[in-house]
Amino acid sequence: MKLELGKIFIKDIQFATTSKIEDGVLYVNKEELIKIVLEQEKLKCADFDIAKPGESVRITPVKDVIEPRVKVEGTGGIFPGVVAPVDTVGSGKTYCLKDMAVVTCGPIVGFQEGIIDMTGLGAQYTPYSKLLNLCLICEGVDGVAPHDYEHAVRMAGLNVAAYIGELARNLTPDETVVYEAPTLKEGFEKFPGLPRVGYVQMLQSQGLLHDTYVYGVDAKKILPTVLYPTEDMDGAIISGNCVSSCDKNQTYAHQNNPVIEDLYAEHGKTINFVAHIITNENVYLADKQRSSNQTAKLCEMLGLDAVIISEEGFGNPDTDLIMNCTKIEAKGIKTVIITDEYAGRDGKSQSLADANVAANALVTGGNANQVVILPKLDKVIGTLAYVNKIAGANEHTLREDGTLEVELQVITGATNEMGFNTLSAR
């Protein structure tokens, strides 16, 4: 497969009477967007606001972050199986609106939703503070069930992102990057002397409000499978979960998966990037065993020499992580795992809920229990009504002077386990 990503850099976002992109500025008609949002019958009201880097703005509770895109050539469309009809993506041409995102927020769905600060200490911990954020604030109808509300907000955000992406269809990209994913046979023939490397991506799928979607299918219903890496880059995987905001993979992170991008940077030079394997994270032991067995088998079938494994979430998924690691290592395949840590506020607790001597090469995204004081900011997009209930907060989080005492858990993307963050350790 060959995928061309055309990058269109957005320099500003402004509300206007006509939605268009002109000279790097995104103009959006707020009323048009609200109509798109309210097509979701479980939502009773919606509004939009704009947050720019450096502004004294706090966005919370954040549900998802999405990069607007449009498919201009090739099979499939944006968010296949969800917004566009089901078809295989990962080839052709896709235009991406860079340096901006659609951020969904509003009254809380579950306690695991987070904060994006556009300035101050909090902004240093989230990659999304560097973006121009078009924020969708919406509210569910009275009595709506949390999972119905989550679905409605998710679909509204994806539809808005697709609508905005469509504005770029006839533009000329500022930059184009080409990614090629050869077949297994082509890879063997083209790079015979290079180590064969794969990427195992663990997808959060541990029950209601812990969902990730692959071509529209809830990942808890899949067996581990092989994708072309370009499929993830082209919108095949989207977020639908409410795990802790610090290590949740927002849809934006899937679209810009840094593990895949870094492996491609070395593909054909120091490694042969063979395949992207996706697997789920499970609740019950038998399901964990089944998925980890299949994942290790796929790695062996592909003749891999080395594997990078990324986790999503913490605690219970640590068992899936270690099972994947130990079983792949047992096949004679070297592994590196990417995770974050929950080592307690003092950093002295056991970092992971499971461990094994085979997991001897690890990249950490930081300690999610680290405590920080976030300054009072001038403006809130969304609401602070739930800030004491977010995972990583407590009843004393919102202090009398307006500052927030929180763990990094509350900051969106702070300890992301694909490395889509600003933290690590040596």
Which active-site residues does the annotation give? 242
174 contacts 9 by C-beta, under 8 angstroms: yes
Residues in the chain: 426
Cα distance between residue 361 and residue 375, in whole Å: 37
In 85-219, which ranges are E strands?
Answer: 92-98, 100-105, 114-117, 132-140, 175-180, 196-203, 210-214, 217-218
Q: What contacts 330, CB < 8 A, 6 or more positions away? A: 296, 358
- Sign of the Cα torsion 359, 364, 365, 371 reads positive
385, HSE (Cβ side, Cα atoms, 13 Å): 8
Straight-line distance from the first to the last Cα atom of the chain, in angstroms, rounded to the nearest whole number: 36
223 contacts 282 by C-beta, under 8 angstroms: no
Find the Cα–Cα–Cα–Cα dihedral 389, 393, 398, 401, rounded to 10°: -170
177 contacts 209 by C-beta, under 8 angstroms: no
